[in-house]
Amino acid sequence: MQVPAYVEYERATTVEHALTLLARFGPEARILAGGHSLVPMMKLRLAQPETLIDINALTELAYVRLADDGSELCVGAMTRHAELLDATVAGKYFPILHDAERVIADPVVRLWGTVGGSLCQADPSEDLSAAFAALKATMVIVNLAGRRTVPARQFHTGPYETVVAPGELLAEIRVPIVPGGGSAYEKVGRRVGDWPIAAAGAAVWLTAGAGGSGGSPPGKRSGGSLPRASTAGTIAAAGIGLTAVGAEHFSAAQAEEFLAGAPATDETLIRAGQIAAEHCRPVSDQRGPADYKRHLAAELTTRALRRAVGRASRAS
């Protein structure tokens, strides 16, 4: 039987209380949110905190809503995965979040696991890290002195490491709302609910094509291809998130640069997938060889881009 080492337990009742407890118990304290990653690590003695600070009573950090001015989607760090999946406003503006949540673990885990906990666990195969990287979200971190913001792509400093310092909490994730956008997430795993062998998220913002798109939106046509440059729109900007393939900051910056200003054709999207894969650093492990993961990075990026472009065209 696997049993964690002895640990003290404290239950926070407010954000300020949680921060006070973190300051009191120092760097050897750990936050307990959903616990689906931390508790198994404690059982294996891979994590041995001296104090657990339970923040499940912090309902003030459990929400999915628009900012007062409507310019951002705000997701509280204690939002359960199931709550984000059920949030109509999240799916309306960023369907990538619903795509990703549907393939995270299973319904039992999603009912208790939290968005903030998943991001702070910083697993190299985490789905939401790639989704929020694609959306170029901003993380809001709080401490007793106030708050600071960090771009999602600078939030993770390495495997299981983030910029959240001792005495701080991730409080909120903010995603800017820009018209003309579409997003999607694609994942391949060994079984339903497993960690991904590879996964890719894409967010695309379109401008009107030179020839106009007066007819049907540029979704998949016969043969699975998008329209050619004469009728396709132009990609104004794009975000690509990758997980489980060794992508720096869970993103594919070189592929994004290639897409900016390019026509939203199938040839463009395929090439972007290839560029994304070229800049990954996958490693062989029990989930698959590196070459297979690199192949998936290219294919899943292309698929996610196709769906994102289709959604963007229908939204515009």
Give the list of residues 6+ apart from residue 169 with CB closer than 8 angstroms, or none: 15, 18, 19, 22, 31, 55, 77, 141, 142, 143
Nearest to 297 by CA among 200, 194, 192: 200
The pLDDT score that the predictor gives to residue 214 is 35
pLDDT tens-digit readout, 180-239: 999 999 999 998 888 999 999 999 999 965 333 333 333 333 334 454 433 468 999 999
**């657990």: which residue's tokens?**
52
CATH topology for 8-54 is 3.30.43
DSSP class of residue 6 equals P
- Domain extents for the chain? 8-54, 59-176, 181-315
Cα angle 169-88-111, degrees, rounded to a multiple of 5: 55
- What does the alpha-carbon distance between residue 155 and residue 234 come to, in Å, rounded to a whole number? 30
Give the global pTM. 0.91
The pLDDT score that the predictor gives to residue 146 is 97
What are residue 148's DSSP bridge partners?
Answer: 141
pLDDT tens-digit readout, 93-144: 999 999 999 999 888 899 999 999 999 999 999 999 999 999 999 999 999 9
CATH topology for 59-176 is 3.30.465
173 neighbors 138 (Cβ within 8 angstroms): yes
The pLDDT score that the predictor gives to residue 315 is 83
- What does the alpha-carbon distance between residue 203 and residue 152 come to, in Å, rounded to a whole number? 14
The pLDDT score that the predictor gives to residue 232 is 62
Higher-confidence residue of 3 and 247: namely 247
pLDDT-derived band at 2 (thresholds 50, 70, 90) equals confident
For the segment 11-31, the average pLDDT, to the nearest whole number, is: 97
- What does the alpha-carbon distance between residue 261 and residue 252 come to, in Å, rounded to a whole number? 16
Question: What distances in angstroms separate CA 182 from CA 14, 70, 152, 294, 309, one per listed residue?
Answer: 36, 17, 19, 25, 6
For the segment 254-263, the average pLDDT, to the nearest whole number, is: 98
CATH topology for 181-315 is Enolase-like; domain 1 (3.30.390)
What are residue 198's DSSP bridge partners?
Answer: 188
In terms of C-beta density within 10 A (0-12 exposed, 13-18 middle, 19 or more buried), how is residue 153 classed?
buried
For the segment 146-173, the average pLDDT, to the nearest whole number, is: 97
pLDDT tens-digit readout, 264-305: 999 999 999 999 999 999 999 999 999 999 999 999 999 999
Tokens of 265: 């054709």
pLDDT tens-digit readout, 166-178: 999 999 999 999 9
- What does the alpha-carbon distance between residue 211 and residue 216 come to, in Å, rounded to a whole number? 13
The pLDDT score that the predictor gives to residue 229 is 39
